[in-house]
Amino acid sequence: MLEELQEILKYHFKNPALLRQALTHSSHTTNVSQNYERLEFLGDRVLGLSIAALLYKIFPKEPEGSLSQRFVGLVCKETVAQMAQTLHLDKFMIVANEDIRRNENVLCDVCEAVIGAIFIDAGDEEAINFVDTHWKELIDRNVEPPKDAKTKLQEVTHAKNLPQPEYVVLSREGSEHEPVFHIAVKIGKLPPAIGSGRNKKLAQQEAAARMLERLK
């Protein structure tokens, strides 16, 4: 089974047990040395560094703002979960409940765990090569930098003659190293939209995206 997946990944593990761990959800085992959670923690950081390095290289004339917009689109939960499905990770996941295979958060986590496993198995160069191989089409597909949700929301409110969006931190939870921020975006007297993320920028983007859905 793992051999088939490694063909899809275009990477063959020296230690296949790492791949198995990256595919194992905590519903199957709560043992942190056997499920994907620690590898996901590492892979999230490796993915971010890899995408940042690729964008820096591919778009040498773009300012920081445009690079940041591209970055957010390429590492967001939706994109990474979509990549997990493209790589058929949902088919190979080891879970206690079949419904978990369709969970977007889990798909994102498993994909990041696989990247973390490659980093442990072969180092940063192979991990960056893996991201380059599978994300490059997404990077090449968008010649113009995408507008982030906050920028779009600002444009929509201006077009509709609404007050400018105001972002308010509601709460912060989690540890110092793994915080989760909850932020509301307010527009005049409209009901606020709330977003969450591992930093304030991601939480603001999610809140803005939810408000945009309402305004449509």
Catalytic residues: 44, 112
Which candidate, 127, 134, 141, 152, places its Cα nearest to that of 69?
152
How far is the C-alpha of 70 from the C-alpha of 93, rounded, in Å? 29
How far is the C-alpha of 90 from the C-alpha of 204, rounded, in Å? 29
How far is the C-alpha of 26 from the C-alpha of 21, rounded, in Å? 10
How far is the C-alpha of 202 from the C-alpha of 75, rounded, in Å? 10
Q: Which residues pair with 173 in a beta bridge?
A: 180
Spatial contact of 180 and 198, defined as CB atoms under 8 Å apart: yes
> Which helix or strand (DSSP H or E) is residue 4 part of?
helix 2-9
Spatial contact of 185 and 201, defined as CB atoms under 8 Å apart: no
